[in-house]
Amino acid sequence: MTDELKQGLPAAAVLGPLAFSFSVLARAAGWDAVEPIVFSVLAFSGSGQLGALAILSVGGSATAAVAAASFLNLRFLPMGVSVAPALSGGRLSRFVEAQALTDASWVAAARLDGTFDRRTLLASGAVQYVAWVLGAVAGALVGPRLVNPDTLGLDAVFPAFFLALLADQVRDRRAGSGPRPASLAALAALLTLALVPVAPPGIPIVAGAATALLALASRPRWRAAPGEPG
Amino acid sequence: MTTTWIVIALVAALTALFRGAGTVLLGDRELPSRLVAVFACLPVPLLASLVVVETVTSGRHLVLDARLAGLAAALVAVALRARLVVVIALAAATTAGVRALG
């Protein structure tokens, strides 16, 4: 398991600062020190927490904040389905293991054939969780003394992180058949860009990710075994 | 403050449900191979969409700001195959620098 834990370290180095800036922003919006920490411990979701905070800090209702966070985290539903065959144990144990699911742990655990590595998912998720909580605690405690995490450029950390993961994925998948990774990335980016002004936050991400359905229209990467439903 | 706690509780519960629903409902059943083929393609478009949303949007608005400069710096670093920590640090430093100048 130690190798898998080490694999989770780069992502943890990113999530720590991100949780830190979430807490700083929450304190700036008038939250006390306990609220951002408890939120981070229970939700463990950058997009969901930042989305809910953004709505509340402009005076939005609780319903609007919960709806925004739900849309933003809707992608965890299909991602959870994708890792289901890899997890083990009874229903409760599977449910708990699925909580290790983050964008980064899911990408780390993804094999090229569409199956997932359970140990990598759990180890990567666990390391990120520790970094997430520590970052949130640090931000909640020193937050009021900092002006604005944006002056440190912390809001560029998340997109740069996703870009680096994307580059790795495109390189790894260039050789395979099916939709060309670079084309799929460009199509998803354009679709997301077009939907942002017209759809609730989060939906453009789900729609962009749904371009993966083009895999059904192109030559499969392998043939289904005889008798197996295609 | 009560509003904050309601939001915290509901978002936490729903997020846990989204993460766990698939695996609880499916058990260890094998997925159809066509669905697995879709999942094999999923990381690339998902990450591309996340990059777009995190770089040029704020809520429902398209916003061009210093994050874009940070992403450009990250792109150069990624093309040169820099380590992840370097990519991230460069993006943050560039964004902070552009903001300080602007």
Q: What is the pLDDT of residues A106-158, one digit of tens each?
A: 999 999 888 999 999 999 999 999 999 999 999 999 987 876 778 888 888 88
Model pLDDT, residue A227:
46
Domain boundaries, chain A: 2-151
Give B46's pLDDT tier (boundaries 50, 70, 90): confident
Q: Which residue in this structure is represented by tokens 């800036």?
A: A21
Q: Average pLDDT, whole number, for chain A?
A: 86
Nearest to B20 among A95, A181, A205 (CB): A95
pLDDT value for A121: 95
Partners of A16 on chain B (C-beta within 8 Å) are none
Q: What is the DSSP string of A193-212?
A: HHHTTTS-TTHHHHHHHGGG
Average pLDDT, chain B: 91
Residues in a beta bridge with B57: B62
Mean pLDDT of A49-70: 84
CB B10 within 8 A of CB A42: no
Phi and psi dihedrals of A197, rounded to 5?
Answer: -70, -20
Indicate the SS3 state at residue A97.
helix
Taking the CA of residue B76 and the nearest CA in chain A, the distance in Å comes to 11
Q: What is the mean pLDDT of residues B50-72?
A: 92
- Contact partners, residue A225, CB within 8 Å, separation at least 6: none
B98 phi/psi in degrees, rounded to 5? -60, -40
Pairing state of beta strands B57-58 and B61-62? antiparallel
Give the chain B residue nearest A55 (alpha carbons): B59
Query: CA-CA distance, A159 to B10, in Å (whole number)?
Result: 27
Residue A51: pLDDT band (50, 70, 90) is confident
Lowest mean pLDDT among A46-50, A102-106, A116-120, A169-173: A169-173
Residue-level pLDDT at A228 = 44
Work out whether the CA dihedral B92, A73, A30, A14 comes out positive or negative.
Answer: negative
Q: Report pLDDT digits (tens) over B8-20.
A: 999 999 999 999 9
Cα distances (Å, whole numbers) of residue A92 to A10, A89, A100, A120, A208: 30, 8, 14, 20, 31
**What is the spatial distance between Cα B1 and Cα A68, in angstroms, rounded to a whole number?**
19
Res A225: pLDDT: 44
Q: Measured between beta carbons, which residues in chain B are less than 8 angstroms from residue A210?
A: 45
Q: Residue A70: pLDDT above 70?
A: yes
Rg (CA), chain A: 19
Cross-chain residue pair A160–B74, CB shorter than 8 Å: yes
Nearest CB neighbour to A189, from listed B27, B48, B87 = B48
Residues of B in contact with A170 (CB under 8 A): 44
